[in-house]
Structure 1
């Protein structure tokens, strides 16, 4: 190609837009009917049949927790809750690729991933209610859970992850920091700043952007003109991939290889998972039918990641309806127990809130604490 032809191509802005779209093919291993479309990719995951069953159980657990949490919220027995139905592959399959030494930085929709790392459900319930014990990131037997608190500030968890990722690199740890945000989070300054920082220092980070279609009521197309959210990772100089977010096997493969890359000192990776938020943004009065159609929602339910995984495992001969029914009963019995435990925790008093505000209460706060304690509050 001559210089003239090259220059013409550089200045062909329509070509640039088309090139952006073509630069990010979608990684897929399972078709919507559960059939394998890439045997080599499936083999590359290294997943055994036992691990595939374990992953399915994590996804089912997430769905059942979503169902029960929604019911509790409607009964006024839950605090803030962001539904997760439809994102089980995006969340649980990616988290399945990381280990106990890796540090998780979740958003408020990523409670299932923290529980996968050992955080008890009863603490997750207390966190939703604003109870201080819901911020204790330990297992029931007192072991530390390598996870930060669910981040309410959109995209801020990326900045936190970048800092820890650099610390892991400096300590030469075989570990990474991995963070989740939604498509709305990619429109925040923290999103780019974190990736830019992590890339500049080649920190051990894996950033996961769950493109679930809507930032509350704002469609993804209204947020950015970028053809793919993954393209934003290229702006920071890091490898970026687009994955079928309803394909648990593809999501796992992308996360596994991104973790290996980052833990080896090569710097961060950005993964965009294409999925859908099948339910309201939160149980705090959101009605998705005000900004999307029932036909659109129904179409996405036909792409339910649980259906795809169920078909795949059934065709493989390692899963059936009897196993699923028994496991769901087991999960609900566990959730029942965890609800009772959360309900049994002593409610916080006004004096407790004041005591927990500052490590060393001011003189005025000490006086207030004394007054409220004298009143039994």
Structure 2
């Protein structure tokens, strides 16, 4: 992972051009972009034109972010195919949220911590989780359960918001060890209504923990739209109640997302405490591959979000600036496809798990109960 390229000594979020609120703030799709109480940082518009040239990351970083987003999207698309052919378990898609996940995780180094939710496969892949192991995880195979020892990433959290306090603990442990490492945790807009969210922000603020909290406002908490679970139109302002900076960023603009995250990471490294970043995006896909979103949202809800596609936005920018060619883009496609197919071959070659393996990755040291349960399973297998 590349180190952040920007450094800010101020605890005040940077001033940036605001994205105008939509004309109909009651529409579910548009409501996520309504910002009556503050600014939303954006560096490139949906058509790829530059809005803040002075804040653009280096070209090498822009190209890397594009490659990582393309890679994350390919995994999401192939996971759908594997699920439909019986080769993948139930999977929470994140297509359309690549900028939010890639732009944040890419600001970390391998020495930092990543606490992902179940929808943050794109962030975990960006951070370095191997493709084959990720495929195995979503196949519910034990070969994907234990995270790599050299990678400080936690398994995908299914409970809502519990990862936030855990991240604060990891951040404080790093500070106690005398490192400059930070912890980054993810949550959805629905999770910001959970008690763990508020407790973690208060905990981190009071103890000045080197934490970066990512709040992905994707418009929906399963079937509940953001407008129904809260009257707040700017979730980043919840940080103010805990005395920490809150930043609202266009979560479909990977360059803006990377920039504000890199600055927040640097502030944490410099001992200036935690930051809450609200990435405003949209869950264009179902809650999971087994979900039918037509039961709770309409075409009007999702209208306009295809035009804000984060991958196409950065592609248009890079092509217009001459940093990417059609030939180079085609080569990226071939490289990503080949990498995935090789990972799939490896995952397919993993041996079938035995019943007792379900207990192997519960605790580092098995409890007496687990030892007895394992012995019972093995005895039943041999019977």
TM range (shorter): 0.7 to 0.9
Q: Answer whether contact 2:72 2:125 (CA < 8 A) is retained.
A: no
Q: Answer whether contact 1:81 1:282 (CA < 8 A) is retained.
A: yes
Match of 1:340 in 2: 345
Match of 2:58 in 1: 48
Match of 1:192 in 2: 198
Q: Answer whether contact 1:80 1:282 (CA < 8 A) is retained.
A: yes
Match of 1:9 in 2: none
CA displacement at 1:369 relative to structure 2: 2.9
Tell me, in whole angstroms, the C-alpha distance in 2 between the residues paired with 1:357 and 1:89. Answer: 33
Match of 2:31 in 1: none
Match of 1:292 in 2: 297
In terms of fraction of residues, the more helix-rich structure is: 1
- 1:71 paired with 2:81, answer yes
Match of 1:60 in 2: 70
CA displacement at 1:131 relative to structure 2: 2.1
Q: Indicate how the Cα distance of structure 1 residues 48 and 132 shifts in structure 2: closer, same or farther if over 3 A, else same.
A: same
Match of 1:369 in 2: 377
Tell me, in whole angstroms, the C-alpha distance in 2 between the residues paired with 1:355 and 1:374. Answer: 19
Tell me, in whole angstroms, the C-alpha distance in 2 between the residues paired with 1:357 and 1:85. Answer: 31
Report SS of the residue matched to 1:241.
strand
Q: Which consecutive unaligned segments of at least 5 residues does structure 2 have? A: 1-33
Q: Which consecutive unaligned segments of at least 5 residues does structure 1 have? A: 1-19
Match of 2:45 in 1: 31
Match of 2:90 in 1: 80
Q: Answer whether contact 2:146 2:361 (CA < 8 A) is retained.
A: no
- 1:279 paired with 2:285, answer yes
Report SS of the residue matched to 2:305.
helix
Q: Answer whether contact 1:244 1:251 (CA < 8 A) is retained.
A: yes
Q: Answer whether contact 1:95 1:113 (CA < 8 A) is retained.
A: yes
Match of 1:89 in 2: 99
Match of 1:5 in 2: none
Residues 321-352 of structure 1 show CA distances to partners (whole Å, capped at 9, x for unaligned) of 22222211221121111112112111222233
Report SS of the residue matched to 1:342.
helix
Structure with bigger gyration radius: 1
- 1:351 paired with 2:361, answer no
Q: Indicate how the Cα distance of structure 1 residues 367 and 178 shifts in structure 2: closer, same or farther if over 3 A, else same.
A: closer
Q: Relative to structure 2, which stretch is displaced further, 176-185 or 116-125?
A: 116-125
Residues 100-119 of structure 1 show CA distances to partners (whole Å, capped at 9, x for unaligned) of 11110100111122222222
Q: Indicate how the Cα distance of structure 1 residues 52 and 210 shifts in structure 2: closer, same or farther if over 3 A, else same.
A: same
CA displacement at 1:367 relative to structure 2: 4.5
Residues 51-78 of structure 1 show CA distances to partners (whole Å, capped at 9, x for unaligned) of 2111100010111111000111111211
Tell me, in whole angstroms, the C-alpha distance in 1 between the residues paired with 2:252 and 2:358. Answer: 41
Report SS of the residue matched to 2:118.
coil
Tell me, in whole angstroms, the C-alpha distance in 2 between the residues paired with 1:74 and 1:265. Answer: 48
Q: Indicate how the Cα distance of structure 1 residues 69 and 369 shifts in structure 2: closer, same or farther if over 3 A, else same.
A: same
Tell me, in whole angstroms, the C-alpha distance in 2 between the residues paired with 1:356 and 1:268. Answer: 31
1:249 to 237, 249, 255: 255
After superposition, the CA RMSD in angstroms is 1.8
Report SS of the residue matched to 1:181.
strand
CA displacement at 1:366 relative to structure 2: 5.1
Tell me, in whole angstroms, the C-alpha distance in 1 between the residues paired with 2:356 and 2:263. Answer: 49
Q: Number of matched residues?
A: 347
2:237 to 231, 238, 247: 231
Structure of greater relative contact order (alpha carbons < 8 Å, 6+ residues apart): 2
- Please give the residue correspondences for 1:120-159 in structure 2 after superposition, counting only pairs within 5 Å: 120-138=130-148, 144-159=150-165
CA displacement at 1:181 relative to structure 2: 1.0
Q: Indicate how the Cα distance of structure 1 residues 245 and 149 shifts in structure 2: closer, same or farther if over 3 A, else same.
A: same
Q: Indicate how the Cα distance of structure 1 residues 61 and 357 shifts in structure 2: closer, same or farther if over 3 A, else same.
A: closer
Report SS of the residue matched to 1:341.
helix
Compute the TM-score of the two structures, normalised by the length of structure 2. Answer: 0.86
CA displacement at 1:206 relative to structure 2: 0.2
CA displacement at 1:221 relative to structure 2: 0.6
Q: Answer whether contact 2:37 2:233 (CA < 8 A) is retained.
A: no
Residues 122-169 of structure 1 show CA distances to partners (whole Å, capped at 9, x for unaligned) of 11111112222212222xxxx611111111111111111111111122
Tell me, in whole angstroms, the C-alpha distance in 2 between the residues paired with 1:250 and 1:51. Answer: 12
